[in-house]
Amino acid sequence: MRELVQRSGLDQGTVNGIKTKIEEAVEAKNLILSNLKYSLAHSVKAYNDAVRVYEAELVQFGIPSEELGIEPLITNTSTMPAGLVAA
């Protein structure tokens, strides 16, 4: 990076401005990634909760849960009911 800056002939103020803009862009992208990871975990949790509810309902009607043909996704979220835990 230093070699690129030296060859460009840009003054230090311009280089610092470019560096700041790059850091801000990376920070914004990291925030987007963090939000997407949260959304994915939330969606997987909701899906797995729905699968568990359907399986429980099928058992109540005497239908084996295997007939549903849907498997929960592997995740690091809990199996606690969503929205029922008070902070």
Q: CA 77, CA 49: separation in Å to the nearest integer?
A: 11
pLDDT at 82: 62
Average pLDDT over residues 71-84: 71
Q: Which residue is associated with the tokens 């295997």?
A: 66
pTM of the model: 0.67
Answer yes or no: are the C-beta atoms of 81 and 49 closer than 8 Å.
yes
Average pLDDT over residues 23-30: 98
Amino acid occupying residue 73: L
Answer yes or no: are the C-beta atoms of 22 and 54 closer than 8 Å.
no
Nearest CA among 75, 11, 15 for reference residue 41: 75
